[in-house]
């Protein structure tokens, strides 16, 4: 199995909160870990929060429970012969906006991204030098009580 730490691909947006120290460097907010799981025809993706406040990610900016990515999630698969862009699905519209995915303070969330986002899984498995690139946008959020 191949492991890649890609916090430099992770992009964060900060919402400043009065009276709270929030890191200003992207690397200080969270780390993103991506692992190629060829035996499952997928990539595992994990986000580890490095802050003591909740982080929010839009539902469209994280894989769904079936390993699909939306058309607005910036995900590419580079390999020895080029780059493939994920063929994302059109996310459903939520009246009043979709609830974000919330990462607990110092928490972790895990998901998977199926090879099928980039084409036929058996063809993707044959590509040499596979590397998933994902731009994850997160910001600090307040949870309604």
Domain ranges of the chain: 2-140
pLDDT per position as a tens digit, 106-115: 999 999 999 9
Q: What is the DSSP string of 45-90?
A: EEEEE-SSS-EEE-GGGS--TTS--BTTS-EEEEETTEEEE---B-
Residuewise pLDDT in 10s, the chain (145 residues): 444 444 333 333 333 333 344 545 556 789 999 999 999 999 999 999 999 999 999 888 899 889 988 887 889 999 999 999 998 777 667 777 778 999 999 999 999 999 999 999 999 999 999 999 998 888 888 654 4
Tell me the CATH number for domain 2-140: 2.60.40
**Rounded to two decimals, what is the model's pTM?**
0.76
Would you state the pLDDT for residue 4? 44
- Which of 65, 64, 67 lies closest to 41, judged by CA? 67
Would you state the pLDDT for residue 92? 67
For the record, the structure tokens of 129 come out as: 């030098």
- Which of 64, 47, 35 lies closest to 130, judged by CA? 35
Would you state the pLDDT for residue 73? 83
């Amino acid at each position: 199995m191949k492991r890649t730490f890609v916090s430099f691909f992770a992009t964060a947006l900060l919402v400043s909160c009065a009276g709270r120290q929030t890191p200003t460097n992207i690397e200080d907010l969270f780390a993103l870990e991506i692992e190629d799981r060829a035996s499952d025809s997928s990539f595992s993706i994990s986000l580890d929060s490095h802050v003591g406040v909740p982080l929010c990610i839009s539902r469209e900016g994280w894989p769904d429970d079936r390993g699909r990515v939306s058309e607005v999630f910036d995900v590419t698969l580079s390999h020895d012969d080029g780059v493939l862009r994920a063929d994302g699905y059109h996310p459903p519209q939520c009246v009043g906006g979709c609830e974000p995915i919330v990462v607990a303070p110092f928490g972790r969330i895990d998901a998977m991204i199926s090879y099928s986002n980039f084409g036929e899984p058996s063809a993707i498995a044959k590509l040499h030098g596979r590397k998933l690139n994902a731009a994850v946008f997160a910001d600090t959020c307040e949870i309604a009580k």
